[in-house]
Structure 1
Amino acid sequence: MTDVRTFRGACYAAARSTGGRVLEFRLATEVTPNFDQGLIAYRERTVAVVRAHDSAVLAVAEPRIVGDGAVDCGPLIFVDAPELVAALAVSQPVFQVLTPADLDGPFDATAWPHVSPYDIKYWRPGTLGEALFNYWD
């Protein structure tokens, strides 16, 4: 598990090295979602760097709106951003940065022992992304 300060630092460093600008951080303060977002704007699009609360895992996804009554709670849509993924991996090697190919693949519970066996049985994640980044209560 990593702290918010390390996450923020990784987002700022990666944004600087890829020509992006950090817009805001959307930090989950409730039980759900189990991830935080750092929004990075580029000329052509805005992406969210997502950080799982219970592991040192990052990914890049379409931004989600949470809080203030607006909750977008479907599965995250992970996006290809090879330069940003590489920059995140270099800026904070404490994080494992996963790609859409990794996250859209099958979930192997033995490889991710921190994911609750109860949650696996109840929610039945179909992909690694669903298991690591979710709105489960």
Structure 2
Amino acid sequence: MAFRLERGSTGFRHFSDPPLPETDPRACRAAWYAAARAACGQVGTFAEQQYPQNFHSATINDRDGADIALFHAQYPLIAFVDDRRYWYTDGFQDPPAWAASLDDCGFTVLSASLLMSPLTEADTAALSAAEWRQIKHWQPGTLGATLFNSWD
């Protein structure tokens, strides 16, 4: 079954469209602290979404090094990445084993293979015309690049 991109999952809408849902940064932060406990690590940073990014980012430092995650600003989706960047077209990583604790907090942790899959393999029927204009302009090749972007 194809992954379904919900309306607003690109972070865009037409001004006349209803407001997009929001993932509360406090819920993201609370989940991240729970994940740090599960990882036996410490929260390094938690940076709330800054325009034009449509994601929050966070780091956990544990005995194996730093793990970096992106929290989608509209939906409870999480991607793990190789390093902090302004935007992502690649660099998605599989989540560490302790990331399962994020599911218990109501988030969906996405695999690297899903995030690196072509956008053409996703169910995009719910996307709005405004989102399709952005996709045509920015031409993201992957599901991850569509979900976690810094388009303006």
TM-score by shorter chain over 0.5 = yes
The answer on whether the counterparts of 1:39 and 1:63 sit within 8 Å (CA) in structure 2 is no
The one of 104, 113, 117 equivalent to 2:132 is 117
Percent identity of paired positions between Structure 1 and Structure 2: 34
> TM-score scaled to structure 2, two decimals?
0.74
- Structure 2 unaligned spans of 5+: 1-21
Superposition pairs of residues 9-20 of structure 1, within 5 angstroms: 9-20=30-41
**C-alpha RMSD of the superposition:** 2.1
Residues of 2 paired with 1:126 and 1:58: CA distance? Answer: 19
Q: 1:124 Cα deviation (Å)? A: 1.4
Could you give the per-residue CA deviations for residues 34-82 of structure 1, whole angstroms, max 9, x where no partner exists?
A: 21111111122211121111222111112315xxxxxx44535112234
> TM-score scaled to structure 1, two decimals?
0.81
Superposition pairs of residues 1-137 of structure 1, within 5 angstroms: 1-29=22-50, 31-64=51-84, 72-90=86-104, 92-93=105-106, 95-107=107-119, 108=122, 110=124, 113=127, 116-137=131-152
Could you give the per-residue CA deviations for residues 77-97 of structure 1, whole angstroms, max 9, x where no partner exists?
A: 11223413312112x12x221
Specify which structure has the bigger relative contact order, considering alpha-carbon pairs within 8 angstroms and separated by 6 or more residues: 2
Residues of 1 paired with 2:95 and 2:88: CA distance? Answer: 21
The answer on whether the counterparts of 1:18 and 1:87 sit within 8 Å (CA) in structure 2 is no
Q: Tell me the number of residue pairs that the alignment of Structure 1 and Structure 2 aligns.
A: 128
Q: Secondary structure at the match of 1:116?
A: helix
Residues of 1 paired with 2:111 and 2:78: CA distance? Answer: 9
Structure 1 runs (4+) greater than 2 angstroms displaced? 72-76, 111-115
The answer on whether the counterparts of 2:57 and 2:70 sit within 8 Å (CA) in structure 1 is yes
Considering only CA atoms, is the larger Rg found in Structure 1 or Structure 2?
2
Residues of 1 paired with 2:125 and 2:145: CA distance? Answer: 14
